[in-house]
Each structure stands twice: as C-alpha cells, then as structure tokens.
Structure 1
Amino acid sequence: MTSIGKLFKIGQRNLVKDLDKLAVTHGVTGTQLSAIDFIADNKYVTQKDIEQEFHIKASSVATMIDRMVEKKMVTRVPNEKDKRVNEIHLTASGAKINKIAKQIISSHDDDILRPFSEDERKTIIKFLKYVAEDNSNPSLEGEKNGRK
C-alpha cells in the first residue's frame, strides 16, 4: 500500500504547480493568490495571521507581502492599538485580482473533484478537513505537546 503521507506530498506539489500555472497569467503566484483570497475574506489580517493560515515562515510571508506591496495589490497599515503590528489590506488592484482568484480557485477545485460523485466529494472534503485539523495521529499527541 502506498503511504498516505507520500500521496499528500505529491498531491500538494501538483496542486501548487497547477495553481501557479493559473495564477502566473495574472502576474501573481499561487500562494499570493491564496493570500489575497484569505485577506479578502477576513476584515482584520496581519502578517502573523497569514503565517498561521498557510503554515509559512515569517520571512517568507514578509517577502511575499513586500512583493505584493510593490505590485500595489496590498498595503500595510499600522494597527491603531499596536504600532508594531501591520494590518494587511487589499488595494483596488488586489480586490480586482481577488475576483479572479475566487474564480480560479473554484475552477481548480471543480477540476480536481470532477471525476467523483457528489457523495464521494463530500467524503473527500470531510477527510481533508480532518487531516487539516491535525487529527491524523493521536498516538503522536505527546510529541505534539513537546513531550516524547
């Protein structure tokens, strides 16, 4: 039997590659496209929120945001309560890309799920949510909490 982890790794790589191909035609990367979608769906977003949502290192997120600021897709706005924290806001250009992003992501998801019946799709989504919530291996609970 093939390892589930290996299948996820290969699948994830293929998904990123596919999304990047679609995104590049609009001058963004797949990760930037996903970040724009996340920013649009949430009223208050910081760099830390993006790091946590996508499980990306702080330095990578900072670089991505820098590039998005250069392309005038987002702006950094100092938080009124804590000036050390910047909120990330979409610009008009970013909002326009977000409309495209939603279409691309939806179309991409539809393409992936096309071969499956509605019941199979529901099961796939349920399984992916379960794995994404990190419930996949309760026997590692001690290691997750810093204990071995």
Structure 2
Amino acid sequence: MRETGRLVKRASLQLSRDLDQFAKPFDLTGTQMSILDFIFQAEKESYLQKDIEQEFHIQRSTATGILQGMEKKGLISRQISAQDARQRSVHLTSKGSQIALRCQDFFKEQEEAFSQNFSEDERRIFQKILNQMIKKEIKNVK
C-alpha cells in the first residue's frame, strides 16, 4: 500500500500543479478554480459555506479565507442564508461564471487527455478504486 499511496499522492500533486498553472493567468489558485467549478455545476439552487467545506474537506477558517479572497476579486457574493441566518449562501457573479466556463473547458480537456490513454473499463476500475480510497479516508476521520 505504501507504493500505491505514494503514487496516488504524486498524481494528485501533478493534477494540482496543472490546475494551479491554469489558474495563474486569472490570478487565482487551483482551489479557487475548483470552488468556482463546484458552484457553477449547481446541483443545488444555492450553496452554503458548509457545503464547500464538506466538498473540499477544509476547515471553516480555511473556507472563510478562500471565499473572502474570491469575494474581493468579484467572483462570488456571500449573503445570509434564507434557510439559516447563521450560515452564508455563496453565489457566482457574472465574472465568476465567465471564469468557471473557462475552467469547465480545462477540465474537459484534462478528462479527454486522460480518456485517450485508457480504455473505458480501465477508467471505470480506476474511478472505483479512487472512490473506495476516499470512502476509507472519510471513515477514518469520523
């Protein structure tokens, strides 16, 4: 497992570097780009800060700092949630949406490049393995 863990870590770092490199001309980080993409995909009408904390496995203080920076750059707006006054809902601005569209293109290109190197069965098995590793990680945290 030690070799597998090391390889997964190296692959993760490479993906993070690629995303950070893509985000740099926008004066953003890879994490900020990922958050824009997450909100842009909008499975829900609005997201609370705690949704972002859970999705990215980050602490409240970390999420607050990232979101404040994104708000200052005009990418998002944060408002008191209609459902819970203790929470803030996070919404993309038009500027944030435009950058998120570019981010979608980047992720699509990355996915296509990955798909060219592996068969459908190999990709399915790889995703299954990653999902099992993630579930184990979550179980260990709780």
Give the alignment's TM-score, normalised by structure 2: 0.86
* Cα separation, partners in 2 of 1:82 and 1:135, compared to 1, 3 Å: closer
Q: Percent identity?
A: 33
Instruction: Say whether 1:82 aligns with 2:84.
Output: yes
Tell me by how many angstroms 1:22 deviates. 1.1
* Cα separation, partners in 2 of 1:144 and 1:74, compared to 1, 3 Å: closer
Partner of 2:96: 94
Number of residue-to-residue matches in the alignment: 140
Give the alignment's TM-score, normalised by structure 1: 0.83
Matches within 5 A, 1:87-126: 87-126=89-128
Matches within 5 A, 1:7-86: 7-42=7-42, 43-86=45-88
CA distance in 2, matches of 1:106, 1:30: 15
Partner of 2:5: 5
**Secondary structure of the equivalent of 2:136?**
coil
Tell me by how many angstroms 1:73 deviates. 0.5
Question: Comparing both structures, which one devotes a greater share of its residues to helix?
Answer: 2
Cα deviation per residue 1:38-72 (whole Å; 9 max; x = unaligned)?
11223221111111101112211111101110110
Tell me by how many angstroms 1:20 deviates. 0.6
Larger radius of gyration: 1
Q: Is the Cα–Cα contact under 8 Å of residues 19 and 108 in structure 1 kept in the other structure? A: no
Cα deviation per residue 1:114-145 (whole Å; 9 max; x = unaligned)?
32122212221222222223379xxxx6x655
Gaps of at least 5 residues in structure 1 are: none
Cα deviation per residue 1:60-94 (whole Å; 9 max; x = unaligned)?
11111011101100000111232221100000111
CA distance in 1, matches of 2:118, 2:2: 21
RMSD: 2.1
Q: Is the Cα–Cα contact under 8 Å of residues 74 and 91 in structure 1 kept in the other structure? A: yes
CA distance in 1, matches of 2:141, 2:57: 15
Gaps of at least 5 residues in structure 2 are: none
CA distance in 1, matches of 2:63, 2:31: 10
